[in-house]
Amino acid sequence: MAQPSSPHQHEIQILISLLDDPDEKVYAGVRDKLFLYGSEALPVLERAWESTLDEMALRRIENILQGIQKESLFAEMNTWVATGGSDLLQGGMLLSRFHYNGLDESDAIRQAGRLTQDLWLEMNPRHTPLEKIKVLNHVFFDVHGFTPVLNPAPPITELLIHEVLQRKKGNPVTLGIIYLMLAQSMHFPMLGVNISGHFAGAWLNKPIQSLTFPVSVQLVDFYVNAPIRGVVFTHADIDRFLDKHDIPPRPANYVPVSNVASVRLLADKLIQVYERSSDVERYEQLKIFLSAFE
């Protein structure tokens, strides 16, 4: 006889067996108890969903599954933010999993691993910072063919990191986050920077693990237009860009931001998509989800 997958599997199964009770009070009590088990209940609920024929019970199982997945995801996001957001892929994938409940991350992880391996094979420890950027650009844009899509109203497929890893095309913010993820996997001292809504990278003269935020602009050696062919530019280039577009030169346009702030920028793009498409449920849920960033 197979062993239970969790110490509470039997209790969870008993609770699930009560989900066909038409009494809403009974259902509410069962639902609340299942929520207390959290992610431990997910495998049992998924098996029950596959074998249940009763339509009401099936609908209730789906609602409970989605609710527990959202709560677990919220807890993961809180932990990711609280621990400094060191893994950019994880932060981006949390947003993908928010949109697609129960998304399998394995393909995205494999694709990111392939990128990292290809860059590692090209790297030489004697490379200067600018030479490292040149190699990174070659692997990212030439070998793997990543391309920005300059769409003022991007669809969701151009924003979610797992979609962009697969399609090799996406919004500049998502593309920039993948570029930074790759750079950080090689321990390059790079962070994101939000230049009046244009996402770029900043190469620092100090390891990012030793930084405190806000970061001094004096620590920036140069900037990289991460989504657009990885072109290198300077503080003076930002001055000219802002002046050309009559944008006040605020410090925020020059100062590198944390990985958490970079992923927050992507999340804000998702909120705009939900607002445009009148996806009220996801719009409201993501606003709550983003309270982890406060």
Per-residue pLDDT of the chain (294 residues; tens, 9 = 90+): 344 456 778 888 888 888 888 888 888 898 888 988 888 888 888 888 888 778 888 889 888 888 888 888 888 999 999 988 999 999 999 999 999 987 889 999 999 999 999 999 999 989 999 999 999 999 999 999 999 999 888 999 999 999 999 999 999 999 999 999 999 999 999 999 999 989 999 999 999 988 888 899 999 999 999 999 999 999 999 999 999 999 998 999 999 999 999 999 999 999 999 999 999 989 998 988 888 776
Tell me what pLDDT residue 5 has.
56
Q: Provide the domain count of the chain.
A: 2
For residue 41, what are its two tokens? Answer: 């209940």
- Domain containing 240: what range? 88-293
Q: Are residues 248 and 262 in the same domain?
A: yes
DSSP-derived pairing of the beta strands 147-148 and 198-204: unpaired
Q: Are residues 64 and 200 in the same domain?
A: no
Tell me what pLDDT residue 20 has.
83
Tell me what pLDDT residue 3 has.
42
Q: Are residues 244 and 109 in the same domain?
A: yes
Let me know if residue 203 belongs to a domain.
yes
- What is the DSSP-derived secondary structure letter of residue 152? S
Q: Are residues 208 and 159 in the same domain?
A: yes
Q: What DSSP line would sit under 11-47, residue for residue?
A: HHHHHHHTTT---HHHHHHHHHHHHHHGGGGHHHHHH
Tell me what pLDDT residue 79 has.
92
